[in-house]
């Protein structure tokens, strides 16, 4: 696929393209659809898994692949076909399970079993894990299934291990993993904005990050990295900001992200991403 000098836009979702209710506003939904139908190259890169992406972006006519679980998956949005899967080596995942168990945590495990994505849970040991389980169940997420023991997932391609617990427990685990495996891991430690005060630690292979998945995406689509614009607001966007020539931070972004940005636009609640793209593409005739 050849795209020569066409611009391509890659947006984060939560805190960026989505509003504070974790939804596309009516305005953003309308204008995003108009832009895509006009041939503007837009896609998303999110910490969300593909079923969650499909849920919040239902009806949006994406033709480019999307990036899910922070770069673990590059996937056809409509057909749910993976172009790339950046998973952990089996032996390495087994070591992570041992460290997680030593901190009395029960991981959630995202995998690909050769035919479908799976989201395994072992024990719902606290209200934070229970919230996530119930959220995925109410959304009809077909990946969700129980597992007798985390190591039973090792026969599949593990793309993410998620730990949900108190700050002290998760911080201690994150520090230990960083000390032992910093050159092998991509980790994100944060308070989930939708289930405060529970802390989340998502653990991925080093390849599963937005800064590595985006070049893979560009290889698939035929776009050049010099024509890339990214949008983001939080720590999991930091790496992609470092590789993009145009890195646009939201006004609600962290100070770290703003410091890396080439421009700062209004808040995610002000439809700022689609308004920026409209301004950059006057040839479409789409107006704000």
* 3-class SS string, the chain: CCCCCCCEEEECHHHHHCCCCCCCCHHHHHHHHHHHHCCCEEEEECCCCHHHHHHHCCCCCCCCCEEEHHHCEEEECCCCEEEEECCCCHHHHHHHHHHHHHCCCCCEEEEECCCCEEEEECCCCCHHHHHHHHHHHHCCCCCEEECCCHHHHHHCEEEEEEEEECHHHHHHHHHHHHHHHCCCEEEEEEECCCCCCCEEEEEEECCCCHHHHHHHHHHHHCCCHHHEEEEECCHHHHHHHHHCCEEEEECCCCHHHHHHCCEEECCHHHCHHHHHHHHHCHHHCCCC
User: 273 and 130, same structural domain?
Assistant: no
pTM of the model as a whole: 0.91
Q: What is the pLDDT of residue 193?
A: 81
Do residues 70 and 235 touch, judged by C-beta distance below 8 A? no
For the beta carbon of residue 195, count every other beta carbon within 10 angstroms.
17
Residue at 79 is within a domain: yes
Domain final residue pick, 174, 205, 236: 205
Examine the domain organization and report whether 95 and 154 are in the same domain.
yes
Domain boundary among 205, 221, 247: 205
Is 73 contained in some domain? yes
Per-residue confidence in pLDDT tens, the chain, 288 aa: 556 689 999 999 999 999 999 999 999 999 999 999 999 999 999 999 999 999 999 999 999 999 999 999 999 999 999 999 999 999 999 999 999 999 999 999 999 999 999 999 999 999 999 999 999 999 899 999 999 999 999 999 999 999 999 999 999 999 999 999 999 999 989 888 888 899 999 999 999 999 999 999 999 999 999 999 999 999 899 999 999 999 999 999 999 999 999 999 999 999 999 999 999 999 999 999
Q: Which residues pair with 144 in a beta bridge?
A: 119
The reply to whether 23 falls in a domain is yes
Q: Are residue 240 and residue 177 in the same domain, yes or no? A: no
Q: Going edge to edge, which strands form the sheet with 117-121?
A: 144-146, 117-121, 108-112, 157-165, 199-205, 185-191
Q: How far is CA 229 from CA 28, 130, 275, in A?
A: 18, 37, 14
d(CA 149, CA 122): 6
Of 155, 170, 205, the last residue of a domain is: 205
137 shares a domain with 218: no
Instruction: Identify the residue whose tokens are 């168990």.
Output: 101
Q: Is residue 1 part of a domain?
A: no
Report yes or no on 3 lying in a domain.
no
Q: For residue 3, what pLDDT is reported?
A: 61
CATH of the domain at 273: 3.40.50.1000
Write out the residue range of the structural domain in which residue 107 sits. Answer: 90-205
What is the per-residue pLDDT for 214?
97
Whether residues 129 and 227 fall in one domain: no
- The answer to whether residues 107 and 100 touch, using CB atoms and an 8 Å cutoff, is yes
pLDDT of residue 195: 83
Residue 238 and residue 103 share a domain: no
CATH of the domain at 145: 3.30.1240.10
Q: What is the rounded CA–CA span in Å between residue 82 and residue 178? A: 29
Q: Are residues 99 and 199 in the same domain?
A: yes
Residue 192: the pLDDT is: 82
Residue 2 lies in a domain: no
């Amino acid at each position: 696929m050849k795209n020569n000098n066409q611009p391509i836009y890659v947006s984060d979702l939560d805190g960026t393209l989505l509003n504070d209710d974790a939804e596309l506003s009516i305005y953003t939904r309308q204008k995003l659809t108009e832009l895509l139908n006009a041939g503007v190259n837009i896609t998303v890169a999110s910490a969300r898994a593909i079923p969650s992406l499909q849920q919040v972006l239902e009806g949006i006519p994406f033709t480019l692949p999307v990036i899910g679980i922070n770069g673990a998956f590059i996937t056809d949005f409509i057909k749910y076909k993976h172009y790339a899967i950046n998973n952990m080596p089996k032996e390495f995942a087994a070591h992570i399970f041992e460290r997680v168990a030593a901190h009395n945590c029960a991981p959630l495990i995202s995998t690909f079993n050769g035919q479908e994505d799976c989201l395994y849970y072992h024990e719902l040991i606290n209200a934070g894990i229970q919230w996530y389980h119930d959220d995925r169940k109410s959304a009809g997420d077909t990946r969700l299934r129980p597992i007798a023991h985390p190591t039973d997932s090792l026969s599949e391609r593990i793309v993410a291990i998620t730990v949900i617990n108190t700050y002290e427990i998760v911080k201690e685990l994150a520090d230990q993993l960083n000390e032992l495996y910093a050159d092998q891991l991509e980790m994100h430690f944060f308070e989930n904005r939708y289930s405060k005060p529970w802390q989340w630690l998502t653990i991925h292979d080093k390849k599963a990050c937005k800064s590595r998945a985006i070049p893979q995406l560009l290889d698939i689509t035929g776009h050049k990295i010099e024509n890339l614009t990214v949008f983001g607001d939080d720590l999991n966007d930091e790496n992609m900001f470092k590789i993009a020539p145009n890195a646009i931070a939201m006004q609600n972004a962290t100070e770290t992200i703003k410091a890396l940005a080439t421009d700062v636009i209004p808040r995610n609640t002000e439809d700022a991403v689609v308004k920026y793209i409209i301004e950059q593409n006057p040839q479409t005739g789409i107006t704000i």
